[in-house]
Amino acid sequence: MRTIAHWIDGKPFEGTGPATAPVTNPATGVVTGQVALADTADVRVAVAAAAAAFPGWRDTSLSRRTQILFRFRELLSERREKLAALITAEHGKVTPDALGEVTRGLEVVEFACGIPHLLKGGFTENASTKVDIFSIRQPLGPVAIISPFNFPAMVPMWFFPVAIAAGNTVVLKPSEKDPSASLWLARLWTEAGLPDGVFNVVQGAKAAVDGLLDDPDIKAVSFVGSTPVARYVYERGTAAGKRVQALGGAKNHMVVLPDADLDLAADAAVNAGFGSAGERCMAISVVVAVGEVADALVSRITERARTIRTGDGTRGTDMGPLVTREHRDRVVGYVAKGEAEGARVVLDGRGVEPDGAADGFWLGPTILDHVRPEMSVYTDEIFGPVLSIVRTTSYEEALALINANPYGNGTAIFTNDGGAARRFHTEVEVGMVGINVPIPVPMAYYSFGGWKSSLFGDSHAHGSDGVHFYTRTKAVTTRWLDPSHGGLNLGFPQND
C-alpha cells in the first residue's frame, strides 16, 4: 500500500503525524493508498520552509520568474494527459473531463506568464515642487491555498501561478480524497527550476487547515469549498490578521424563457447538470422553466439524460462515479427525501447499471420535476447528478427566486430576446452570469467568484483580482534635486 506524503522544501516529506486516511478509486471502491495527515508540527515545517524561501524568491528578477513560469507551462502542456489520468483515478471524473480541468488551469498559468505587465506601478513627476511620487506592488510573503476534492488540479491553479509569479511562496493543502495531483504539480515545479521552498504541499484535514489559519507567517489564505467551511476559514483567518478569499457553495439556476431554443437549452441543462456527476460549484442544479415551456423542456432534458452512459471514467463513458461511498449515499438520501416531499422523479438514477465495477460509487442522472423552494433538494447544495425543475409563471417570478436564494455563484438564462437577457444580467444578484451559456466560468484574465454566501472576502480568484490579492501597494515620495535644508516647519506638509 503506497503512502502519499507531503512535499516540503523541494522534496517529499513523510511528516511526524501518525494519522493517515485512505485514498480510494471511486470507480472500483478499491483503496489505492494512504495519505499522510499533517499535524501542527508538520504544518510548521512547511510554513517555515516557505518563509525561508520568500526573501530569495521575492528578490528574484521578473525576467527569471517568468522564465520559470513559461517552463512550467510547457511541461504541463506536454504532460497534461498524465495529470488527467491521476485525477480520474482518485476523483472518478471521466478522462475528457479531467483533461478539460487541466486545460482550464493551464490558462491561468498562461495568464501569470504576463505578470511583469500586471505588476507595473505608477509614477508622477513633480507632484510637488521637485518632489516625485511612485507606487509599486510587492508580494505578501508565504500564502496558503486550501483546495477541494472536485478540482484537484484546476482550483489550486486558480491561485498558485499568480501567487508565485507575483513573488510569494506557497503552502498548498489539497483535499485528502484526491491528493496525488498536488505532488505531481510540485515535482513539475522543481523540474521547471522553481527554487526549493517556494511551492510546498501539506496533506491533511482540519488540523492542517487550522495550523495554516493560525500560523503567523502565513499572510493570506485562498480557499474553495462548502459555504459553512468557507465562513469558518474566513472568520478564523481574518481574526488572525490574514487576507482571506473564501469561495463557498452554490445553487446555480438556469432560467429558460418561452422564446428560447429548447433543444439548445436541453443540451445545456444536461451538460451543465451532469458533467463530473454534478460535483462542480458551477454545475446547474436548478432549471427554472418559465410559463408554458415547462412540459416540452422537461421532456427534451429527460430524453437526452437517458442516453448518458455512467461508468468507469477510463472506459469512454459520459459520467463517472461520485467521489466517495458516503457522498453517494448522501445524494441518494436527497432524492428519496425530495420524492417524499412531493417532487416527481422523472428520471431515477438510483437503479443505474454502470459500465464499471459493482463496488463503485454509482448514481445515474436523476431529474426531479415540480420542485418547490421549500424542499431540501432545492434549499441545500446536493453536489451530485440531481437536476431539479422549478416551474414559474413569469420572468419576474424566476428572477425573484434566484435573488432570494442565499447563494450567488453562477446563473444562466436561455432566450432569443436581447432585451430580456440584458435585463437579466443587470438585475440578477449573482457573480457570474451566462446568456445562452450554461457554465459561465470566465477566462483567466477575468475574475472568478460569486456573491452572497458563495464568497467571503472582497476578492475573487485569478484575473486582476488575483494579482491585487497577492500583492500590496507601496507609495514612495522622493525629493533628490534640492539638497538645501528647508528650515524648521512643524505644520502639516502642503504641496506647492
Residues 184 and 274 in one domain: no
Range of the domain at 424: 252-435
State mean pLDDT over 68-88.
98
Residues 382 and 430 in one domain: yes
Written as nine digits, the cell of 51 is 518563509
What's the CATH number where 128 sits? Answer: 3.40.605.10
Count CB neighbours of 489 within 10 A.
8
Written as nine digits, the cell of 76 is 504541463
Look-up of cell digits 485569478 = 462
What pLDDT is stored for residue 211 in this prediction? 98
State mean pLDDT over 126-144.
95
Residue 242's pLDDT band (cuts 50, 70, 90): very high
Separation between Cα atoms, residue 411 and residue 391, nearest integer Å: 16
What pLDDT is stored for residue 195 in this prediction? 98
35: β partners: 4, 21
CA triple 404-410-414, angle to 5 deg: 90
Residue 400 lies in a domain: yes
The whole model's pTM is what? 0.96
Residues 46 and 109 in one domain: yes
Q: Tell whether the model's pLDDT for residue 69 goes beyond 70.
A: yes
Residues 379 and 326 in one domain: yes
Nearest to 322 by CA among 376, 257, 261, 276: 276
Mean model confidence pLDDT for the chain: 96
- Give Cα separations from 187 to 6, 24, 411 (angstroms): 12, 22, 37
Residues 14 and 104 in one domain: yes
What pLDDT is stored for residue 263 in this prediction? 98
Residues 91 and 148 in one domain: yes
Q: Tell whether the model's pLDDT for residue 486 goes beyond 80.
A: no
Written as nine digits, the cell of 407 is 447563494
Residues 99 and 227 in one domain: yes
- Note the pLDDT tens digit of each residue in 356-410: 999 999 999 999 999 999 999 999 999 999 999 999 999 999 999 999 999 999 9
What pLDDT is stored for residue 487 in this prediction? 73
243: β partners: 220
Residue 491's pLDDT band (cuts 50, 70, 90): confident
Residue 485 lies in a domain: no
Q: Tell whether the model's pLDDT for residue 484 goes beyond 80.
A: no
Amino acid letter, 414: F
Report the number of distinct structural domains present in the chain.
2
Both ends of the chain: CA-CA distance in Å? Answer: 74
Count CB neighbours of 326 within 10 A.
10
CA-atom Rg of the chain in angstroms: 25
Q: Tell whether the model's pLDDT for residue 414 goes beyond 70.
A: yes
Q: Tell whether the model's pLDDT for residue 489 goes beyond 90.
A: no
What pLDDT is stored for residue 17 in this prediction? 83
What pLDDT is stored for residue 482 in this prediction? 60
- CA pseudo-torsion sign 274, 275, 276, 279: negative
Separation between Cα atoms, residue 93 and residue 322, nearest integer Å: 8
Show the beta-strand stretches assigned E in 181-320: 199-201, 220-224, 243-247, 252-256, 284-290
Task: Kindly state the helix (H) or strand (E) to which residue 248 belongs, with its residue range.
Answer: none
Residue 481 lies in a domain: no
Separation between Cα atoms, residue 45 and residue 65, nearest integer Å: 25
Residues 288 and 259 in one domain: yes
More confident position, 297 or 483: 297
Residues 149 and 293 in one domain: no
Residues 244 and 259 in one domain: no
Nearest to 198 by CA among 373, 371, 52: 52
Share above pLDDT 90 across residues of the chain, in percent, rounded to a whole number: 95
What pLDDT is stored for residue 135 in this prediction? 97
Nearest to 143 by CA among 206, 198, 184: 198
Distance from the Cα of residue 142 to its chain's centroid: 20
Residues 128 and 265 in one domain: no
Could you tell me if 256 and 289 are in contact, meaning their C-beta atoms sit under 8 angstroms apart?
Answer: yes
Residue 483 lies in a domain: no
Residue 441 lies in a domain: no
What pLDDT is stored for residue 494 in this prediction? 80
- Note the pLDDT tens digit of each residue in 100-109: 999 999 999 9
What's the CATH number where 408 sits? Answer: 3.40.309.10
State mean pLDDT over 412-429.
98
Look-up of cell digits 510540485 = 186
Residue 483's pLDDT band (cuts 50, 70, 90): low
How many residues does the structure list for the chain?
496
Residue 85 lies in a domain: yes
Residue 444 lies in a domain: no
Q: Tell whether the model's pLDDT for residue 451 goes beyond 70.
A: yes
Q: Tell whether the model's pLDDT for residue 134 goes beyond 70.
A: yes
Q: Tell whether the model's pLDDT for residue 34 goes beyond 90.
A: yes
Full 3-state SS string of 366-415: EEEECCCCCCHHHHCCCCCCEEEEEEECCHHHHHHHHHHCCEECEEEEEC
Least confident range of 74-78, 219-223, 338-342, 488-492: 488-492
Q: Tell whether the model's pLDDT for residue 481 goes beyond 70.
A: no
State mean pLDDT over 267-283.
97
- Note the pLDDT tens digit of each residue in 4-27: 999 999 999 999 989 999 999 999
Residue 371 lies in a domain: yes
Could you tell me if 341 and 295 are in contact, meaning their C-beta atoms sit under 8 angstroms apart?
Answer: no
- Note the pLDDT tens digit of each residue in 182-226: 999 999 999 999 999 999 999 999 999 999 999 999 999 999 999
Residue positions annotated with a catalytic role: 281
State mean pLDDT over 140-158.
98
- CA pseudo-torsion sign 57, 59, 60, 65: positive
Residues 207 and 344 in one domain: no
Q: Tell whether the model's pLDDT for residue 127 goes beyond 80.
A: yes
293 contacts: CB under 8 Å, gap ≥ 6: 256, 257, 258, 260, 262
